Amino acid sequence: MDPYSDRRLFGRPLTIEGQTTAALVIDMLNDFCDEEGKLGNAAALDLCESQNLVLDAARRCGGTVVFVNEQHRVNLGPKREFAKQMTHTYEGSWGARVVEPLVVQDTDIEVVKRRYSGFFQSDLDLVLRDRGVTTVVLMGVLTNICVRATAHDAFFLGYDVVVPTDTVRAMTSMEQHASLYDISTHFGWVTTSDEVRASLASGLPIMNQMMEPTVPA
């Protein structure tokens, strides 16, 4: 028997309730998503339509919308290896702004992060607990770096983690698939934006996608 066909690996169905759900948009910023950005991958803009639909659904049912935006201080001395790599999303710059195709409303919340995970030494966990959130829907870039790091920390903090496949993107299909496979088997639920919206509207549970592991060529 193929162990990866065992439904138990992919967990129970999950019911998403609007008022206890937060849609987190991770690093959908000009420097990451615009072709003029310092690390721009313009293909990421293709995610905006699905992301906007999920955001609208979350707002309609009383959910929380949080834009989790990486920003770095202009005057930070690059004395550590991590800081040396930070050549993007400087505070107050065009590159640190949310991409224009995404709809941001006055009622939405912004959380600044300084590292890959949206939870690491930020006030994201405090914001979500103040709002009574128990489920987070993660969207954004990159799937294998900032989205994945945020998914790990959310799981460790006790949140139910949902990742719609058509709202996240990595630089390669291998990184995309491997990250989503690991999330679906160990950290949360991998589904689609349509399934998330339907669950928010109807209260019907979502099922975790049974993704096959990647095999090196």
pLDDT tens readout for residues 84-99: 677 788 899 999 999 9
Structure tokens at 198: 């339907």
At residue 217, the pLDDT reads 44
- CA pair distance 33, 161, nearest whole angstrom: 24
Residue in 8, 36, 160 with CA at minimum distance from that of residue 94: 36
- CA pair distance 213, 210, nearest whole angstrom: 10
Q: How far is CA 5 from CA 1, 150, 197, 212, 216, in A?
A: 8, 27, 26, 8, 19
CB atoms within 10 A of CB 188: 26
More confident residue, 18 or 81: 18
CB atoms within 10 A of CB 73: 12
At residue 19, the pLDDT reads 96
pTM of this prediction?
Answer: 0.91
Query: Torsion over CA of 110, 167, 104 and 137, rounded to 10 degrees?
Result: -50
The distance of Cα 152 from the centroid of its chain, to the nearest Å, equals 11
In the block, residue with structure tokens 């987190």: 24
Does CATH place domain 18-201 in 3.20.20.20? no
In the block, residue with structure tokens 């206890």: 20
Mean pLDDT score of the chain, rounded to an integer? 90
24: exposed, middle or buried (Cβ count in 10 Å: 0-12, 13-18, 19+): buried
